[in-house]
Structure 1
Amino acid sequence: MNHDRSRDLYDRALSVIPGGVNSSVRATRPYPFFIERGDGAHVVDADGNRYIDYVMGYGPLLYGHDMPDPVRAAVQSHASEGPMYGAPTEIEVDHAEFVARHVPSVEMIRFVNSGTEATVSAVRLARGYTGRDKIVVMQGGYHGAQESTLVEGGPDNPRPSTAGIPASFAEHTIPVPFNDEETIERVFEEHGHDIAGVLVEPVLGNYGIVQPISGYHETLRELCDDYGSLLVFDEVITGFRVGGLGCAQSKLGVTPDVTTFGKIIGGGFPVGAIGGKAEIIESFTPSGDVFQSGTFSGHPVTMAAGHAYLTYAAEHDVYEHVNRLGETLRAGITDLCEDRAPEYTVVGSDSMFKTVFTRDAPSSLGDQCADGCEQRTDCPRYDHCPKTGGDVADAETERWERVFWQEMKERGVFLTANQFESQFVSYAHTEEDVEETLEAYKEAL
């Protein structure tokens, strides 16, 4: 493939944008290709190269790059009436009512502008509602670019994971390994009455898609109930993708106190939201004393897109289609890995997928999880598949980025550019796209 124009654009970008990109994960080696347009399940770059797209904007594009006609009509209608008003609109209420009808934890919801803003607000809400300071997060979990969660280390030695955050901020955050019940129980025994909330993704989505082991979220729910802490599910990635309109919490059968949203809930436009029990959400100003506000919150075009997005999904076979293709894709990759790279672990569920380049394989793969790791204790891979973010970090992450991603790109398949972020199937993908993708995997592996 020729990438001359992308290279020139990147050269220009380096002069005016730090690192040449506006989000760190876009900085692929040796330079990113610049997208010119989307077309269904494909993107076309500045040099005219065409790719099957499984990045899907890092998750929000449930329908691919062509919005269904009702969604497009809703967006155009609200955009033509005026960009925004600084006052409430009916579409905000319509969208809030829809989410509250379908998501188990949501009685009330506050819309904001990004997933990061949602989790920042949720942390402040948990602290304000409980009158406590400490927040528990999962090692390898991602909750946006915010000071309270950009923390690494362990329960006894938390520290900022990036420059620019005072060490004193990390003192109020307790990182624990995902899926480690013994550690979280010990943390609550030591700090339970100081813990405002546990912030957890139902499925780790920015660290290779790590599923919870059986009973883990139930343990978190029980501990939060016992100590008066809030259980906060970060469903920015999984929301309206895993578990359909009920989100991952409905699939898992565990109802949090608060849920954060982003991505799909805004129909491809900038969005975030915090939903939960009315008693808790009403702690936000002006009904309560936890300050939260934003000029663009509840933006009418975003609300129209999100509402039309979810309404269309409720009235059509969207989830049946994307989940079936996701299952076919994961099953096909599982078969390829068994033959060509038996140490690798295929992960994901519903319309999410990834291949983690784990380093060890069991002696036999008979009766392994057929289309994505389910954390089944009777699966021969169980002792080898990732249980924590650290397990994914210990995989062959450089091989994914430096070799595999490049090979797939040259075969016309656009994957997330490193080992960690999730990949997504959209309503625009077809069985032919999946077949072409599996052929590319076969050659690249």
Structure 2
Amino acid sequence: MNDERSRALYDRALSVMPGGVNSAVRAAIEPYPFFVRKGDGGHVVDADGNRLVDWVMGLGPLLLGHDLPEPVQAAIQRAASEGPMYGTPTELEVDLAEFVVRHVPSVEKIRFVNSGTEATVSAVRLARGTTGRNKIVIMQGGYHGAQESTLVEGDADHPAPSSAGIPQAFAEHTLPVPFNDEAAVREVFQEHGDDIAGVLVEPILANYGIVHPVDGYLETLRELTDDHDSLLIFDEVITGFRVGGLGCAQSHFGITPDLTTFGKIIGGGFPVGAIGGRAELIEGFAPTGDVFQAGTFSGHPVTMAAGLETLTFAAENDVYDHVNGLGEMLRAGLTDVLADQAPNYTVVGTDSMFKVIFTREGPSRDELEGQCEAGCRQDPECPRYEYCPKNAADVKRAETERWRRIFWGEMREQGIFLSQNQFESQFVSYGHTEEDVERTLEAYKHAL
């Protein structure tokens, strides 16, 4: 595959940008990332003219694919043609807010911001301001953006910053626990319950291999936060409007959090974030409350138009049937491929998300009867249950270097663009076809 143009662009980029990129994960591809020239349906075309089936979809925002349906494209162009932005409210903000409030169980009011990071930063500040408490419980390996309160590693007894530039004093207010570990989170509440402002959790650990919650885990978080007058905050930046359709993952699991953060799909491919929740909580934001939050570009009219028309199109057409059907087809096909070629490996994902985790141990080929047919569901009756990842540490113990250094490149050589490492999710869009799925399954057979 010819990469001369991408290599030349990367050489230029290294001279003017740190690592040659504007987001660290983009540099995970070695020896250098390829540069994209344009998108086309479920594909991208790179700077050298190579055409790839794209399962990254901008890391999640592109529910509809690269070719936007005419009404979505028209709304974006109309908003852009009427002026970039105004520094004052627009009707589009109200329309999108009303749409979200109608469809997402936890949301009575919403505040739009500019990124998923900004949403989680604001949610943490709101939780602390509302409760008058300092500590936030997070899941080890969970990702909530580039913010000081959650770039924390270790455990609840020994939290430490996971990035330079974050004071240890910040990390001491963060309590990391393993995802799916009920005993660990109960112990943390027993010791610190009176000072826990909230639990910040992805309902599916979606940025670290797609780890499904075990039965009862999210219910435990809801119970503990209720008992200790803390807030349950769902980070649905990735799962929002992808898992569970318009009701998001909280409707899929039947758990209603106090606050929910959004990003990606809610902006239709443009920069966006949002925090929604019970009215009395969201009213805590300025100007009605004491928790300061503001932003020049918040509620940007082009983003609001893109988000509203994307979600409206999804509501009025077969978008979720299409993407979830292809997701099921992909995961079922991958399950069959692995049973034949790599029975140790685990297929994960739900709805329009999928991934193969290169787990090192698993049942033998003759013990696979009764396994989850299209992605791990943490089913205790599944023969893989004792082997499938339950938390971020389990994913990290997989063959992550083989995935990145060998497998990813093999897939790209066959025209398949997968996420840049084993931890990031992969996504199906409305622009993908059954032919894309079949081609991808054949590529997995070859690469594995």
Alpha-carbon separation, structure 2, partners of 1:6 and 1:213: 43
Gap regions ≥5 residues in structure 1: none
Aligned residue in 2 for 1:338:
339
- From 370, 374, 379, the equivalent of 1:371 is 374
Deviation at 1:361, TM superposition (A): 1.1
Q: How does 1:284-433 map to 2 (within 5 A)?
A: 284-363=285-364, 364-433=367-436
Q: How does 1:155-194 map to 2 (within 5 A)?
A: 155-194=156-195
Aligned residue in 2 for 1:9:
9
SS of the residue corresponding to residue 217 of structure 1 reads helix
Aligned residue pairs, count? 445
Q: In the alignment, residue 416 of structure 2 is paired with which amino acid?
A: V
Aligned residue in 1 for 2:105:
104
Aligned residue in 1 for 2:144:
143
Deviation at 1:173, TM superposition (A): 0.1
Q: How does 1:77-116 map to 2 (within 5 A)?
A: 77-116=78-117
SS of the residue corresponding to residue 251 of structure 1 reads helix
Q: In the alignment, residue 71 of structure 1 is paired with which amino acid?
A: V
Alpha-carbon separation, structure 1, partners of 2:22 and 2:86: 27
Alpha-carbon separation, structure 2, partners of 1:220 and 1:75: 39
Determine whether 1:442 maps to 2:439. Answer: no
TM-score normalised by the chain length of structure 2: 0.99
Deviation at 1:51, TM superposition (A): 0.1
Aligned residue in 2 for 1:66:
67
Q: How does 1:268-283 map to 2 (within 5 A)?
A: 268-283=269-284
SS of the residue corresponding to residue 385 of structure 1 reads coil
Alpha-carbon separation, structure 2, partners of 1:84 and 1:400: 43
Residues 172-196 of structure 1 deviation map (CA, whole Å, 9 limit, x = unaligned): 0000000000010010010001000
Alpha-carbon separation, structure 2, partners of 1:164 and 1:344: 37
Residues 369-423 of structure 1 deviation map (CA, whole Å, 9 limit, x = unaligned): 0000000000000000000000000100000000000000000000001110000
Percent identity between matched residues is 75
Q: In the alignment, residue 129 of structure 1 is paired with which amino acid?
A: T
Aligned residue in 2 for 1:123:
124
SS of the residue corresponding to residue 233 of structure 1 reads strand
Residues 258-295 of structure 1 deviation map (CA, whole Å, 9 limit, x = unaligned): 00000000000000000000000000000000000000
Q: In the alignment, residue 442 of structure 1 is paired with which amino acid?
A: K
Q: Runs of 4+ in structure 1 displaced over 4 angstroms?
A: none
Alpha-carbon separation, structure 2, partners of 1:65 and 1:11: 27
Deviation at 1:439, TM superposition (A): 0.5
Q: In the alignment, residue 125 of structure 1 is paired with which amino acid?
A: L
Q: How does 1:165-244 map to 2 (within 5 A)?
A: 165-244=166-245
Alpha-carbon separation, structure 2, partners of 1:168 and 1:111: 30
SS of the residue corresponding to residue 274 of structure 1 reads strand
SS of the residue corresponding to residue 213 of structure 1 reads coil
Deviation at 1:339, TM superposition (A): 0.6
Q: In the alignment, residue 443 of structure 1 is paired with which amino acid?
A: H
Gap regions ≥5 residues in structure 2: none
Determine whether 1:50 maps to 2:54. Answer: no
SS of the residue corresponding to residue 240 of structure 1 reads coil
TM-score normalised by the chain length of structure 1: 1.00
SS of the residue corresponding to residue 19 of structure 1 reads helix
Deviation at 1:151, TM superposition (A): 0.2
Deviation at 1:159, TM superposition (A): 0.2
Alpha-carbon separation, structure 2, partners of 1:176 and 1:434: 37
Determine whether 1:21 maps to 2:21. Answer: yes
Two-structure CA RMSD over aligned residues (Å):
0.4
Q: In the alignment, residue 386 of structure 1 is paired with which amino acid?
A: P
Q: In the alignment, residue 5 of structure 1 is paired with which amino acid?
A: R
Alpha-carbon separation, structure 2, partners of 1:197 and 1:376: 28
Deviation at 1:362, TM superposition (A): 1.5
Residues 230-274 of structure 1 deviation map (CA, whole Å, 9 limit, x = unaligned): 000000000000000000000000000000000000000000000
Q: In the alignment, residue 52 of structure 1 is paired with which amino acid?
A: V
